[in-house]
Amino acid sequence: MRDPVVRAAELAPVGARRRRMAPYLFLLPVMVFLIAFYYYPFVKTIVTSFTVTDAAGQFKKVVGFRNFLMIFKRKDFLPILGNTLRFVPMIALPTLLLGLLLALFANKRAPGVSRLTETMFSMPMAIASASAALVWSLIYNPVVGVANYLLGLQINWLTDDRFAMLSVAIVTVWLQTGSNFIFLLTALRGVPQDLMESAMIDGAGGLRKFFHITLPMISPTLFFVIFLDIMGSFQAFGQIRILTQGGPGIATHVLVYDIYLEAFMNYRFGTACAESLILFAMMLMVTLIQFRFENKGVHYA
Amino acid sequence: MRDRAPVWKSIIGVLLGLVIVFPVLYALSISLMPESFIATYPPKILPSAPTLENYAKALKTAPMLRFVLNSGIVAVSIMGVQVLTSSLAAYAFVNFEFRGKGLLFGAVLATMMIPGEAILISNYLTVASARLLDSYWGLILPYGASAMGVFLMRQQFLTVPREFREAATMDGCTDWRFFWRILMPVSMPAISALAVYCFINTWNQYMWPLLITSSVTMRTVQIGISMLSFSDGMAYGVIMAGFMLILLPSLVIFILGQQKMVSGLMAGSVKG
């Protein structure tokens, strides 16, 4: 039995058939790029995680699950996983909160300076994690840096294992807050004004309005921003490499940094690929949990 | 009463803004200090006698302008290609009903979930086997499409009233013509938003150019600046001068494009 859609296409005049092909043609360029540089390498990574390669990344032999077993046998692997998971709320929560507070602050335009403040609030967005890390390494410098000087403290920000993770997290929050601010600001300005006015007429106070109107109205954007923050925290790399190299000890050693070391310092591409699959699985799990939450908590207009 | 509150708000806003951009102002200030002045305790916030010697030294230590040119070529190319591929794909998702639409859209968005590190090694091998290492092509091609771009353009196209296309089709306008003559021009804010986003992301790339470029003349800005930090130990003044030099282009684009980005995202969020 032939598919009715296909048959209709065959019977239709040339114009209609061309229209049936059209969407696929429009999608072709994106698909070519995504297949060549996302799906194909991803499949290759999965395959490589079950193999051993030479130092140039060329296939040597199939080893089954041995790469995965070796990773879980490493003594430092659980602490590294712990660091990776601890890092996520340390970055995502303050980023979201700060972004939201700044957006609420800037939502009602202040006279004269609103463009200036918006640009300043979002500026760290324009800065690379690698070069930001260079500036912050100076700020954190215990002698010539201003962090200790301005706060009146004597802290080895990057070399004391009680503070290293916090220091890296501060830089990451600084880098990511700007995009949260911009997304949430646009969402806030998209909340229909008449809705707010009718709530005011009904006598709703500020907090009530926020929780019953504003928050539900911007929940799709909040959801999207939380997704970006979580993915960003899992993937933070440049700032860790430049500020702490995973140290002191393994205090800031996270999964992404370990993948980098395995692949490009130790040339063990098999285990590096296996680790990146573990990272992928963690990100996937968080996303699935988030999507379940979306079905309950997010309001789409 | 009504007039006083906003003035206070403006002042608080600017002060908050200054706190947020402090690291950049600090870098600027340090870049204008002589090295001997930076190393003294207590730390200095402002230079006593501003000098440009760190900038001269940065330009002499590494070919900073060449790095800027390389990053510029790569960023503008990726920007153009991504705007085009994203818009075409978004058009298909918004204006057509076809078999596998949901699946394909899911397949595009799913690429956001693939961590860069998971595909880096394989992409390196692909580019190497195509003999594109240490070339502009190798820097550009892997970033020809992005899920974010498709998503952003889709959100924009959803806001264009259906009647536009219906009217155009009635007049015998083809999809191709409608796309170029009507849809793209009315979508300029979203296109600028995507363009700014793309440019800054590419300008700020670190890992990929580090891996695939090997000659100094092909290096991009973020790698170039790390050359400054390794050449002279702890020469903070020179590093900050380099930082300011490579920040300037992306900052200009960001400040010019920031407002467009907001309105572009705004258009996208009206119909989420």
Q: Assign residue B135 the CATH number of its domain.
A: 1.10.3720.10
CA triplet B247, A265, B123: central angle to 5 degrees? 70
Residue A35: phi and psi, rounded to 5, are -70, -45
Q: What is the pLDDT of residue B1?
A: 35
Do B260 and B135 share a domain, yes or no?
yes
Specify whether B99 is located in the same domain as B34: no
How far B165 CA lies from chain A's nearest CA (Å)? 14
Contact at CB, A130 and B206, closer than 8 angstroms? yes
Tokens of B174: 């083809």
Rounded Cα distance, B183 and B176, in Å: 10
- pLDDT score at B259: 73
- Whether B155 and B186 map to the same domain: the answer is yes
Give the closest-approach CA distance of B8 to chain A in angstroms: 9
Q: Mind listing the domains of chain A with CATH numbers?
A: 4-68 (no CATH), 70-297 (1.10.3720.10)
CA distances from B89 to A18, B103, B174 (A): 17, 14, 17
Co-location of B132 and B150 in the same domain: yes
Say yes or no: B73 and B157 in one domain: yes
Task: Enter the ipTM.
Answer: 0.87
Last residue of a domain, one of B14, B31, B51: B51
Q: Please, which residues bridge with residue B94 across strands?
A: none
- 10 Å Cβ neighbour count for B167? 13
**Can you tell me the mean pLDDT for B93-117?**
88
pLDDT at B141 over 50: yes
Label residue B3 by pLDDT band (50, 70, 90): very low
pLDDT over 90 (residue A166): yes
Residue A152: closest CA among chain B residues belongs to which residue?
B42
Q: Say whether both B21 and B31 belong to one domain.
A: yes
What is the rounded end-to-end Cα distance, in angstroms, of chain B? 38
B256 and B126 both lie in a single domain: yes
Contact B126 A231 (CB under 8 A): no
Average pLDDT, chain B: 86
Whether residue B29 is predicted with pLDDT greater than 50 in this model: the reply is yes
Greater confidence (B38 vs A169) lies with A169
Number of Cβ pairs < 8 A linking chain A and chain B: 267
Identity of the residue numbered A172:
T
* Mean pLDDT to the nearest integer, A27-32: 97
Chain A residues with CB-CB distance to B253 below 8 A: 126
How many structural domains are present in chain B? Answer: 2
The stretch B192-196 carries a mean pLDDT of 87
Would the CA dihedral through B187, A31, A44, A56 be positive or negative? negative
Q: Are residues B103 and B34 in the same domain?
A: no
Residue A274, token pair as written in the block: 């296996």
A205 or B47, which is more confident?
Answer: B47
Interval A257-265 mean pLDDT: 88
Residue B78 has pLDDT above 90, yes or no: yes
Regarding whether B219 and B113 lie in a shared domain, the answer is yes
If DSSP codes are grouped into helix, strand and coil, which group holds residue B63? coil
Q: How far apart are CA A301 and CA A192, in angstroms?
A: 11
Structure confidence by residue, pLDDT tens digits, B81-101: 999 999 999 999 998 999 999
CA distance A256 to A236: 7
The token pair at B176 is: 């191709």
pLDDT at A12: 47
Choose between B9 and A113: higher pLDDT. B9
Name residue A140's beta-bridge partners. Answer: none
pLDDT at A112: 67
Residue A260 has a pLDDT of 87
CA distance, residue B72 to nearest chain A CA (Å) = 15
- B12 and B81 in one domain? no
Q: Which of residues 224-283 of A touch B (CB under 8 A)?
A: 231, 234-235, 237-238, 242, 256, 259-260, 263-264, 269, 272-273, 276-277, 279-280, 283
Determine the Cα–Cα distance for residues A212 and A25; give it in Å rounded to an integer.
45
**Looking at the predicted structure, is the pLDDT value of residue B66 above 90?**
yes
Q: Which pLDDT value is given to residue B267?
A: 57
Question: Which among A123, A186, A283 is the nearest to B20, CB-wise?
Answer: A123
Query: Which residues numbered 55-84 in B keep a CB inside 8 Å of some CB on A?
Result: 84
**Contacting residues of A for B104, CB less than 8 Å apart:** 27, 31
Residue A53 backbone dihedrals phi, psi, to 5 degrees: -120, 170
Q: Which of residues 133-152 of B touch A (CB under 8 A)?
A: 141-145, 147, 150
**pLDDT tier at B271 (50, 70, 90 boundaries)?**
very low
Task: Name residues 161-220 of chain A within 8 A of B (Cβ).
Answer: 174, 177, 182-183, 185-187, 189-190, 220
Mean pLDDT of B35-44: 78
Closest CA to B119 of B131, B110, B111: B111
B233-260 mean pLDDT: 87
| CA pair distance A218, A103, nearest whole angstrom | 12
pLDDT digits (tens, 9 = 90+) for A183-222: 898 888 878 877 777 777 777 777 888 888 888 888 888 8
Residue A129 contacts residue B204 (beta carbons within 8 Å): yes
Q: B142 pLDDT band (50/70/90 cuts)?
A: very high
Give the residue numbers spanning the domain of B151.
53-270
B161 versus B243: the higher-pLDDT residue is B243
Q: Which residues of A touch B143 (CB under 8 A)?
A: 37
Q: What are phi and psi of A248, to 5 degrees?
A: -70, 145
pLDDT at A197: 77
Q: What is the pTM of this model?
A: 0.85
- What the block records as the tokens of B257 is 């494009």
- Kindly report whether the peptide bond that precedes residue A216 is cis, defined as omega within 30 degrees of 0: no
* Whether B10 and A111 lie within 8 Å, measured CB to CB: yes
pLDDT at B143: 96
Residue A301 has pLDDT above 70, yes or no: no
Closest approach of A234 to chain B, Cα-based (Å): 9
**Together in a domain, B57 and B105:** yes
Q: How far is CA A301 from CA A130, A193, A213, B272, in A?
A: 39, 15, 12, 8
Contact A292, B133 (CB under 8 A): no
Q: Which residues of B touch A226 (CB under 8 A)?
A: none
Q: Identify which has the larger pLDDT, B268 or B127.
A: B127
Q: Does B14 share its domain with B59?
A: no
Chain A residues whose CB is inside 8 A of the B116 CB are: 235
% pLDDT > 70, chain B: 92
Predicted confidence at residue B270, as pLDDT, reads 45
Share of chain A above pLDDT 90, in %: 43
B113 touches chain A (CB under 8 A): yes
Residues A77-99, mean pLDDT to the nearest whole number: 94
Q: CA nearest B270: which of A295, A187, A228?
A: A187
Number of H helices, E strands in chain B: 15, 0
Q: Give the model's pLDDT for residue A220.
A: 82
Looking at per-residue pLDDT, the higher value among A250 and B227 belongs to A250
